[in-house]
Amino acid sequence: MGKRLKKLKKIRIHREGTSELAISMILIIVLAIGLWFAFDTKIPFWISILGLGTAWMLALNFYRCPIRYFNGDTHKMVVAPADGKIVVIEEVDENVYFHDKRLLISIFMSPLNVHANWFPVDGKVKFVSHHNGNYHKAWLPKASEENEHADIMITTPEGEDVLVRQIAGAMARRIVTYAKAEEECNIDEHLGFIKLGSRVDVYLPLGTEVRVRMDQPTTGDQTVLAVLK
């Protein structure tokens, strides 16, 4: 029980969800009071409480934001930028920025995952670019280029450029990016937030040592994806 309580103390509600959760709670309470006094039977009241209460709890779970710190040396480390599951580990042709082959590691985030995003490497933000697009299912290969996405290029202290791509999925309709060009960034800092199911891609230089496998669960700011050469 003690460990459970300690873990709960390290979880807060993400700022992207505080107003939505508060407003929806007020509306649920107002509706519940109205149903309690509007009918002689309390069945409508209990049905609404059960349904809306469950939906509110799911939203609360979605907006949870654990307080995390990477335990170890961050030198040349590439840490998972999101909670989820590894769906891609492959060499790809990146023809938008690098115009050469890159190692792509992708993490799919289900609606049940924490949806805060962290910086995967220490360094300096080179630029941030948002692109409108479609809303294909996030795990599909074409989602990386065709879906709405935000690109964040980070230059590490060693001079390596690492591209992070926040991708909207079939359900996601809002990408929030906190990263700003020319700002220093560090592992443990939030890069942004994506609402509902989505995906985060990380493009790394060839020769990078991969530390994860396909279908492996990831924990943002904790799981080591790779080590730069």
Residues recognised as catalytic: 198
Angle formed by the axes of helices 43-62 and 18-38, nearest 10°: 170
Contacts of residue 214, Cβ cutoff 8 Å, sequence gap at least 6: 86, 87, 89
> Would you give the distance in Å from CA 37 to the centre of its chain?
42
Question: Which residue type is seen at 94?
Answer: E
List residues bridging with 13 in a β-sheet: 64
Are the C-beta atoms of 198 and 167 separated by less than 8 Å? yes
Alpha-carbon distance 224 to 149, whole Å? Answer: 23
User: CA–CA distance from 48 to each of 24, 57, 111 (Å)?
Assistant: 13, 14, 23
User: CA–CA distance from 19 to each of 28, 54, 63, 92 (Å)?
Assistant: 14, 18, 11, 40
Nearest in space to 177 (alpha carbons), one of 198, 208, 205, 146:
198
User: CA–CA distance from 40 to each of 29, 35, 36, 44 (Å)?
Assistant: 18, 9, 8, 10
